[in-house]
Amino acid sequence: MAPIRQSNIDRRRVRDECRDKLSKHIQSRLGIQIKPSEVRLIPNAADPYAWKVLSEKAELFSKNISDHSIGAYRELCEGVGVTFEAVSSITHSADAPDSLVSLRYAGTSFSAKIDQLKEENARLLQELHEWRDKATAESERRELAEGQVRQLHGTHQQLQEQVRGYAVTADNLRSSVSMCFQGLDKVLPVLEELRTGVSMGVNEV
């Protein structure tokens, strides 16, 4: 008789642990006692339980327990109450394939989780819209401020041009006044001489 391989021993041990965990889960969830050896991933019509499974783990429930690998057994053990749960077969929809109960059918735990995730998603979406509106308003305010700065810069340049023009005009006026004073400096002595000469002529007469 050939010796039993260690891998087969390990597989059988993990399979039995998986059956035991599934049995305890069914009893905990539904109050129904099912022997570990009688637990099925694909329950028949007479079984009082069915499985409600997240879509990404549905493949695990497409085979009988005995047909699975040791990795699948570990996935099942880790997913109990997390990615799947036992539900009463009464809530099992006739439209659902085999024994799988989709998330679109009745249930509490997963449905509550999905509703919670939907609410959280809606809240985050609303918050995203609010932040986007704030960002848009801030961007518009920034553009308006930048426009005002550009306008002020243009006005400042115009004023500088005017100041330079006034400075040139003032320089021209100063030159004109200086020339006038220079002309007066030349004319006044002549006028003084004429006034003196006229005064002397009047005195002689």
Q: Which of 47, 75, 105 is the last residue of a domain?
A: 105
Q: For residues 113 and 188, state if they share a domain.
A: yes
44 shares a domain with 112: no
Q: Are residues 13 and 100 in the same domain?
A: yes
Whether residue 156 sits in one domain with residue 96: no
Domain boundary among 42, 75, 105: 105
Is the pTM here over 0.85, yes or no? no
Phi/psi at 83 (5° precision): -105, -10
What are the CA-CA distances from residue 19 to residues 25, 56, 94 (Å)? 10, 21, 26
Per-residue confidence of the chain (205 residues) as pLDDT tens digits?
555 688 888 999 999 999 999 999 999 999 999 999 999 999 998 899 999 999 889 999 999 999 999 999 999 999 998 999 999 987 654 444 444 444 433 344 566 667 777 888 888 899 898 999 989 998 898 888 898 888 888 888 888 888 888 778 877 878 777 787 787 777 778 777 777 776 666 566 5
Q: In whole angstroms, what is the distance from residue 68 CA to residue 50 CA?
A: 19
Which residues constitute the domain of residue 60? 6-105
Structure tokens belonging to residue 58: 């549905």
